[in-house]
Amino acid sequence: MANLKTNDDEELEKLENHSDDASNLPGKSNLKGDWLNFFLLLLLYTIQGLPLGFAVALPIIFQSKRVVSYREQAFFSLVSWPYSAKLLWAPIVDSLYVRRIGRRKSWLIPVQLLMGAFLFYTATKIDEWLPESEKPNLKALVYAFSVITFLAATQDIVVDGWALTMLKQNNVGHSSTCNGTGLALGVLIGMVGPVLLTSEDFCNKYLRFTDDTGGIITIKSFLYFWSIAFILITILIVTFKKENDFDESETKINIFQNYKLLWQILRLQNVRVLVVALLTMKIGFSATDAVSHLKLIDAGISKNNIMLIQISMYVVKFIIPLVVSKYTSGLKPMSAYMNLMPIRLLWSFTYVILIYYTPALINTNGVVDVPIYYYVILGLICTVHEILSFTMFIFTIGFFSRISDKRFGGTYMTMLTTIANFGWAVSNTIALRMIDVLTFSKCSNDVSNNCSTPDLKTVCQTNRGECVTAINGYYLEVILCVTIGFVWYYIYKGIVRDLQSMNPSNWLVNIPRPNMKRDENNIITR
């Protein structure tokens, strides 16, 4: 079977995708009569982003308490892995359902009820697992939030599929708006609640007229609220939202066919080369991306200010797509990616320099007093980093959309983005894990104590000693990662550009088309 489709195939495809009824043709977008569906999609994507926000917020909370090592931070980073591996069970979600309930509701209802139940259970245990001053129970937190993230990833698969039929055909393009906006909003809520709204300093400074103790909420009450919200939203969907009838003309792919399709994609020589590149392309940035903000907290910057900076970066994320759209829609988005890569690698050293000088810049006679110019410098460094990072991400997505076999665009595209995300998640976990390995310290009055864990640091301080760092693992790791990044750049610079320049036919999946025939009304059937 040739990879290139024949004219007959193309004609059949056109007939297959367009009926004689003009009402089936997509018209001009108009949300009149579709606003409720639009806001429901926005809500579903928003609550999906909450667990991702938790996964960002909790490491910042851990670091601010100074009772968790970087090895333990690496362990907690595993909670993000299920979201980066959802393709493994996506075919099951797409193929198994109870028809009477609905293809999407069959999964959405139990998944969201389980998310509500797990959030409720976590709320009952959070004070025990995350005490105010003692060491957190990381195992319990990792298990709980890994399950919640797994459920959120499953909900993402369901909602992505439902978005294609929930909105009218001429409004389907708005689903990407719901996805991007809702997910960003959910992540923001998940970050802001546990960090800022629970902070006494932040609430007294910005949210209260008179000072009071504690934040305006607790992490426990925050989790309780959203657990109940998940359950109520699900009940409302069960009661009031009817899923569109299953389309009998829709091609039905079973589980085994779906996994076979993934295998056929991975068998393509070009895809295999690309997969290796995607799994390794983020190594050069991993130390900067995963560790820098935590090191700023170690240096004396408050978790509240770190969180405010991260929130402000979302403004950059909303603007960048508008600015770089002409490059992503062009023929060579990865050429632009490769041009930016050396700049982003070198920009990593701005964090190294800033973190090195931070203690001297923000301490006056032993008192932390952060000057305004420091925040200006930090904001500039973070903004440039975010511009480079997010622009390169958009270029990557633009490349994926160009090479994906349009017949299986959803599966093809999801597979590539999942592999890229998994490479990012693994690189970040390894980067966190290696900080303690590459850091060499000793206690000033006990040379046998290397201060490698929070407990050993406490022992040193109890004995009136001080942990002195001989080699800071962060600085060493950034140098190693940037070096690896440049090696990757010189190895893959030509390879990536060659992949980009290939004819689209080289990315087509060689799968026989189903037998087709015309019935007496000249309608194509299988």
HSE-CB for 181 with a 13 A CA cutoff: 11
Distance CA 120, CA 137 (A): 18
- 466 and 364 fall within a common domain: yes
pLDDT by residue (tens digit) across 50-67?
A: 999 999 999 999 999 888
Q: Does any domain span residue 446?
A: yes
Q: Does any domain span residue 182?
A: yes
Tokens of 506: 């080289």
CB 92 within 8 A of CB 78: no
Question: Of the candidates 394, 378, 380, which has an alpha carbon nearest to the alpha carbon of residue 320?
Answer: 394
- 113 and 183 fall within a common domain: yes
pLDDT by residue (tens digit) across 189-219?
A: 999 999 999 999 999 988 888 888 889 999 9
- 227 and 327 fall within a common domain: no
Split into its structural domains, the chain has a count of 2
What pLDDT, on the 0 to 100 scale, is given for residue 3?
43
What pLDDT, on the 0 to 100 scale, is given for residue 190?
93
- 65 and 133 fall within a common domain: yes
What pLDDT, on the 0 to 100 scale, is given for residue 330?
59
- 353 and 370 fall within a common domain: yes
DSSP string computed for 113-180: HHHHHHHHHHHHHHHHHS-SSS---HHHHHHHHHHHHHHHHHHHHHHHHHHHHHS-GGGGGGHHHHHH
- 401 and 326 fall within a common domain: yes
Distance CA 122, CA 141 (A): 8
- 418 and 437 fall within a common domain: yes
Residue 234: how many other CB atoms lie within 10 Å: 21
- 375 and 440 fall within a common domain: yes
Residue 6: how many other CB atoms lie within 10 Å: 10
CB 115 within 8 A of CB 152: yes
- 290 and 409 fall within a common domain: yes
Domain residues for the domain of 122 are 34-251
Residue 184: how many other CB atoms lie within 10 Å: 18
Residue 26 has pLDDT above 70, yes or no: no
CB 177 within 8 A of CB 45: no
What pLDDT, on the 0 to 100 scale, is given for residue 486?
98
Q: Does any domain span residue 520?
A: no
Residue 522 has pLDDT above 50, yes or no: no
- 190 and 146 fall within a common domain: yes
pTM: 0.83
Tokens of 67: 């009772």
Q: Does any domain span residue 28?
A: no
Q: Which residues contact 488 (CB under 8 A, 6 or more apart)?
A: 280, 281, 283, 284
Which residue did the predictor score with more confidence, 42 or 179? 42
- 154 and 259 fall within a common domain: no
Q: Does any domain span residue 80?
A: yes
pLDDT by residue (tens digit) across 469-485?
A: 888 899 999 999 999 99
Residue 358 has pLDDT above 70, yes or no: yes
417: domain CATH number? 1.20.1250.20
- 303 and 345 fall within a common domain: yes
> Taking CA 338 as the corner, what is the angle to CA 337 and CA 340, rounded to the nearest 5 degrees?
70
Q: Does any domain span residue 448?
A: yes
Mean pLDDT of 285-292: 95
pLDDT by residue (tens digit) across 365-406?
A: 778 888 999 999 999 999 999 999 988 988 888 888 788 877
Question: Of the candidates 388, 385, 381, 386, which has an alpha carbon nearest to the alpha carbon of residue 314?
Answer: 386
Q: Does any domain span residue 15?
A: no
Q: Does any domain span residue 522?
A: no
